[in-house]
Chains A and B, each alone.
Chain A
Amino acid sequence: MQLFKTTSLISALLLAGLSHAAELRVLTHSSFAVSKPLLAEFEQQNGVKLSIIKAGDAGEMVNKLILTRANPIADVVYGIDNTMMGKATAAGVLLPEAAERKSGQPQLPGATSIDYGYVTLNYDKAWFAKKQLPLPKKLDDLTRPAYKDLLVVENPATSSPGLAFLLSTISAMGETRAMAFWAKLRDNGVKVSKGWTEAYYTDFSRNGGARPIVVSYATSPAAEVFYSKEKLSTSPTANLLLPGAVFQQVEGAALVKGGQQAALARKFIAFLRSDAVQKDIPTSMWMYPVQPGIALDPVFQHAEKPAAHTTPNQQQIAANSAGWVGKWTRIVLKSGQ
């Protein structure tokens, strides 16, 4: 007990004694994982102390930004994506910047795009091999009895991949047909999890669950190889790139309206687009860098990059996503209750 007291007293004193360099407050989501040496280098080069603040997933982050708009908790935000951008813009929490536009790069109007990825279906190869069940060819197959109780999705109300997947189905089929499709999915036993972690680690058959198809990211099969002890030669999972089931997610950074250190914030955004960080992003956050010509880690050969996607534009998302999620909730979750 005595030892406890002494140590904590000392640590409290140490904390109080930290020096006060210029501070840049960076709000980000909980998956933020740029390597520490890179961040330290940025701090050194610019004489700034980076204060990284994690605020839950992208949705929670934007909501916290909106709540504190009168007295912003950060100067720059990274990790805002095209599903949330409209909401943030409508609430006026970001400082619009004229981003440098290079054709061919995925764009995030209203912010500077940093990286992008695809939300799509993953399947458990071993499960399909064992059951000798052919893979579904189109989304509607998932509503057939053969594929009953095989799919797990995330709740679009509480999960960004869940929302992205819902948006891709709507973009592909139109609202009316998409909702009818979801009603049929519901009747065919689609499982809804709260978030990606629950879906992937509790329900996905690869990790001991009962569902061999999960809504995840197109890079997940590569990550499965990367994070495996025995360094697998092939991934145990693969992408199921059905038409209408691929959403392109673009993540970006922007200045927070009312924030300080605008010059430093712009430097930080430039830093995120620098080659060093862009090269770091694929294996730390499992997204593709927006800058062309960045060599990917060889492990990405296990992730099939989708050739096509169905993604609504930002305006459509901003205008309709709340209504779509509400309708989806009524159809899939609240019916029968």
Chain B
Amino acid sequence: MSERGRRAGLALLPLAFLLLMSILPLLRLLQEGQGAVSTGLFADRYLQWRVLWSLLQAAVSCVAALLIGLPVAWCLARYRFPGRSLSLRLLMLPFVMPTLVAAMGVLALFGPQGLLGVNLQDTPWLLLYGNLFFNLPLVIRAACEGLAQIPASRLAAARTLGATPWRVFWRVEWPAVRPWLLSALCLVFLYCFSGFGLALLLGGQRYATVEVEIYQLVSYELNLADAGALALLMLLVTGVIATLYAWLERRLAAPLKVDPVLPRRPQGMEWLQLVAALALLLLFAGLPLLAVLWRAVQAVAASGFSLLHDEEVLLALGNSARFSAMAVLLAALLGWLHALAARGSLWLRALAFLPFVVSPVCVAFGLLLLYPQWSASLPLLLASYALLAYPFVARSLAGALDSLPRHWPQAARSLGASPLRVFARVEWPLLRPAFRRGLAFAAATALGEFAVTLFLSRPEWLTLTTLIYQRLGRPGADNAASAMLLACLLMLLALLAFLIIEWPSAAERQLRKES
């Protein structure tokens, strides 16, 4: 009973925040629409195609991520090669990349006159490739983690029972990894289905998603009723998936690994497999970033660095750093509280997805309707950043809390540590890596969040993302070049935030590797 009370106390702040920043704005928007949904809205063939395509592209992304991700993950998990741990670490990079940077990279590769010489614009492939850039690493990491949970003895047992390595994979490794993959695929589906920025930037007219349709309905047609109906439809689908994910994830709380399989040097043809796996990884997770870098180098070669010597760039840099720092602080607080409260609670856990799945356009306009007097104020802007950033902290911590054996804090209690001291001396040191990882995601999100451009803005709040847009809003070679340079700068900043926060100390690295 007191446990429940304590949890309710912890949950109070994040729940109030979600209510004020996400649920109430959506409800306010629905109220403004007054339920005057167009008759036959869902009978419209155009809209049916939008819904179908949204589902389809998410499903195809899932299947592709699985088919490509699993073999790559297997190679990374089982083969020892120079740069292996670096590769595993670099796998995190796409997660922290701003949507705008990724989209510019994808367009630089596969746009008209792209670096690869193939124009995929106005085909579904552009969006699918973008989806894979962000989500393939997610599947690979999950599969690697799942593979690492399989004790070496189990594989050895299967071999002695007459199974070939391939059969061992099918009959022992695949069943063990399946729940991990399933949970990762839930996330992939969620991100692809409800993703806004990428679909807006890469989908074009034909391959945009429902989320983009909502954006057009609200922003340009002021058709709040239809937009609200669509937003509710989205929420219904994503709510089911998010709950499924929360349920799966809780079951996956990893016990300590015993007797893990040690990666071995590949032999003969296995080198080929490894090289192919790394090449796939580079193609899907590395190339867009390299393309941004390359275009920026070209821009510098053509125009020099003087494009960055500019009052506006300094202002944008300062603001991006300032806003990110403040948003991260807020996200840290909310994330901790939410994670602690969500320990063992499926609903609170699924609720951490709310900011991802509620249409950002609806939230932006709902906030405008709900708090007009605050709508151009900095606290509201920072709160919107925090809204989009804090689920990363909450989710990362919730996962770490689950895999923390309850024995450890109990042992510490019986050795004389008060709950506060248990936190300081046992739980905090063990949760710190996950917390830092959450912060890194939060910082990167705040730095490059695309959806925030939907909110009201002030010239003095110029950030890198808005500055890129501003430059791309004017004709002229200098503007294009400086937008590319700024995108590269944004990419490097995200990388920097990631490195500062995420790169563990030597001791932590060893701890993570061994236990």
Interface, chain A (partner B; CB < 8 A): 1, 4-5, 7-8, 11-12, 15, 25, 30-32, 51-56, 59-60, 63-64, 66-68, 70-73, 155, 157-158, 191-194, 196-197, 200-203, 207-210, 216-217, 220, 223-224, 226-229, 237, 286, 333-334, 337
Which residue of chain A has the shortest Cβ distance to B369 in the bound complex?
A67
Which residue of chain B has the shortest Cβ distance to A220 in the bound complex?
B475
Which residue of chain B has the shortest Cβ distance to A52 in the bound complex?
B459
Cβ 8 A contact of B220, one of A5, A60, A72, A216:
A60
B458-A200 in contact (CB<8A): no
In whole angstroms, what is the CA distance A200 to B469 when docked?
Answer: 13
Given A53-B456, A193-B205, A210-B119, A201 contacting B480 (CB threshold 8 A): yes
Question: What are the residues of chain A within 8 A of B472 when measuring CB–CB?
Answer: 197, 201
CB distance from A275 to the nearest CB of B (A): 23
Question: What are the residues of chain B within 8 A of A70 when measuring CB–CB?
Answer: 372
B325-A4 in contact (CB<8A): yes
Hey, what's the 0/1 contact readout for B201-212 against A, CB within 8 Å counting as 1?
A: 000111000000
CB distance from A92 to the nearest CB of B (A): 14
Stretch at the interface among B18-26, B106-114, B135-143: B106-114
In whole angstroms, what is the CA distance A132 to B93 when docked?
Answer: 47
A197-B325 in contact (CB<8A): no
B121-A59 in contact (CB<8A): no
Question: What are the residues of chain B within 8 A of A286 when measuring CB–CB?
Answer: 474-475
Cβ 8 A contact of A11, one of B322, B457, B478:
B322
In whole angstroms, what is the CA distance A259 to B111 when docked?
Answer: 46
Question: What are the residues of chain A within 8 A of B403 when measuring CB–CB?
Answer: none
Stretch at the interface among B162-170, B176-184, B262-270, B373-381: B373-381
Question: What are the residues of chain B within 8 A of A203 when measuring CB–CB?
Answer: 112, 121
Cβ 8 A contact of B476, one of A191, A228, A333:
A228
Hey, what's the 0/1 contact readout for B357-373 against A, CB within 8 Å counting as 1?
A: 00000000100110011
Interface, chain B (partner A; CB < 8 A): 32, 45-46, 49, 107, 111-113, 119, 121-122, 200, 204-206, 216, 218-222, 302-304, 322, 325-326, 328-329, 365, 368-369, 372-373, 375-376, 378, 454, 456-460, 466, 469-470, 472-481, 483, 501
Across chains A and B, which 7 residue pairs bring their CB atoms closest together, nearest first? A227-B476, A227-B478, A71-B372, A210-B112, A220-B475, A223-B475, A209-B112
B470-A30 in contact (CB<8A): yes
Given A64-B368, A227-B479, A32 contacting B459 (CB threshold 8 A): yes
CB distance from A38 to the nearest CB of B (A): 13
Which residue of chain A has the shortest Cβ distance to B122 in the bound complex?
A191
Question: What are the residues of chain B within 8 A of A71 when measuring CB–CB?
Answer: 372-373
Given A53-B376, A207-B480, A59 contacting B368 (CB threshold 8 A): no
Cβ 8 A contact of B459, one of A7, A54, A196:
A54
A227-B49 in contact (CB<8A): no
CB distance from B435 to the nearest CB of A (A): 11
Cβ 8 A contact of B368, one of A67, A216, A220, A237:
A67
CB distance from A267 to the nearest CB of B (A): 20
CB distance from B447 to the nearest CB of A (A): 13
Given A60-B220, A66-B222, A73-B368, A226 contacting B456 (CB threshold 8 A): no
In whole angstroms, what is the CA distance A245 to B219 when docked?
Answer: 26
A157-B456 in contact (CB<8A): no
B303-A229 in contact (CB<8A): yes
In whole angstroms, what is the CA distance A224 to B368 when docked?
Answer: 37
Question: What are the residues of chain A within 8 A of B457 when measuring CB–CB?
Answer: 30, 53-54
B121-A202 in contact (CB<8A): yes
CB distance from A124 to the nearest CB of B (A): 12
A208-B113 in contact (CB<8A): yes
Given contacts A52-B458, A157-B216, A334-B46, 5 further A-B contacts (CB under 8 A): A67-B32, A67-B222, A68-B368, A68-B369, A71-B372
Q: Is the interface of A mostly helix, strand, loop or mixed?
A: mixed
A sample of 21 cross-chain residue pairs with beta-carbon separation below 8 angstroms, ordered by A number, consists of A11-B322, A30-B469, A31-B470, A53-B458, A54-B456, A68-B369, A73-B372, A73-B375, A73-B376, A157-B220, A157-B221, A158-B220, A197-B469, A197-B473, A210-B112, A210-B113, A227-B474, A227-B477, A229-B302, A333-B205, A337-B45
Cβ 8 A contact of B473, one of A30, A66, A192, A209:
A30
A229-B205 in contact (CB<8A): no
Which residue of chain B has the shortest Cβ distance to A192 in the bound complex?
B205
Question: What are the residues of chain A within 8 A of B372 when measuring CB–CB?
Answer: 68, 70-73
Question: What are the residues of chain B within 8 A of A12 when measuring CB–CB?
Answer: 326
CB distance from A243 to the nearest CB of B (A): 24
Which residue of chain B has the shortest Cβ distance to A219 in the bound complex?
B475
Given A157-B220, A209-B113, A194 contacting B322 (CB threshold 8 A): no
Interface centre among B216, B304, B479 (most CB of A within 10 A): B479
A224-B476 in contact (CB<8A): yes
CB distance from A34 to the nearest CB of B (A): 10
Question: What are the residues of chain B within 8 A of A228 when measuring CB–CB?
Answer: 476-478
Which residue of chain B has the shortest Cβ distance to A227 in the bound complex?
B476
Interface centre among B216, B220, B369 (most CB of A within 10 A): B220
A59-B220 in contact (CB<8A): yes
Question: What are the residues of chain B within 8 A of A229 when measuring CB–CB?
Answer: 302-304, 477-478, 481
In whole angstroms, what is the CA distance A223 to B283 when docked?
Answer: 37
In whole angstroms, what is the CA distance A8 to B365 when docked?
Answer: 28
A8-B326 in contact (CB<8A): yes
In whole angstroms, what is the CA distance A286 to B475 when docked?
Answer: 10
Which residue of chain B has the shortest Cβ distance to A59 in the bound complex?
B220
CB distance from A47 to the nearest CB of B (A): 19
A55-B111 in contact (CB<8A): no
Question: What are the residues of chain B within 8 A of A4 when measuring CB–CB?
Answer: 325, 328-329
Question: What are the residues of chain B within 8 A of A200 when measuring CB–CB?
Answer: 475
Which residue of chain A has the shortest Cβ distance to B49 in the bound complex?
A337
Interface centre among A11, A25, A197, A210 (most CB of B within 10 A): A197
Question: What are the residues of chain A within 8 A of B49 when measuring CB–CB?
Answer: 337
Which residue of chain B has the shortest Cβ distance to A158 in the bound complex?
B220
In whole angstroms, what is the CA distance A67 to B501 when docked?
Answer: 41
Cβ 8 A contact of B458, one of A8, A51, A59:
A51
